[in-house]
Structure 1
Amino acid sequence: MVSVDSAANARSRDGAGASQEGEVVPGLDEWIALEQWRANWRPSCNPVDGTAELAALFRRTARQGYAAYVAGVRAMPALFALDGALACLWQQGYACARADAAIGILARPAWA
């Protein structure tokens, strides 16, 4: 697994979530959130602890895939391609949008 700890630290210092050139890095928020969740997760007697945050992160990632299809974007964010879980979730969202389009119910999602 590739660590983006230095990217997370740089992002927290400037608070902008942008690269040095001023461009927004697609998927950086989700990548950092997943890395932080992994770093902070501790097993406990209650396996449900901490999973609500992870579930929200996974929903956001799938929604990005859906929104990408709606917007006509054909490539997932490069950071997602480095992590199998994020890549899979983005692709699921993208596939859901394609299926919705095939049956004629595709609409711009409110969360996009």
Structure 2
Amino acid sequence: PDRPAYSYEDVRPTGALGGHKVTTRVGINGFGRIGRNFFRAALEQGVDLEIVAVNDLTDIKTLAHLLKFDSVMGRLNAEVSYDEENIIVDGKAIRVLAHRDPAELKQLSAPLL
């Protein structure tokens, strides 16, 4: 059936699967103020989400800088760096994509927020 590549129905609460903790893997479409604040809140509150990708048209160096240094929220309490394809937060690589059309992100094996 016709439905968006990802929808809120794809994001399920963390639960147990055979007695094992299940982590929800997600991607963030848009890493402006709201996307970065969502990322910061998830990181600082220790929610059971694994952010595997960010889709934004801005270059990776600028995205990493804006994540680390926010004029309203302050400095992020985490080590932030980057390489050619990723923002790296506390040693965890988060893939950065640059697609104008979110429908092109079907290969991202995670719901897109």
Bin for the TM-score computed over the shorter chain: 0.3 to 0.5
Which has more helix, going by share of residues? 1
Higher-Rg structure is 1
Where relative contact order (Cα < 8 A, 6+ residues apart) is larger, the structure is: 2
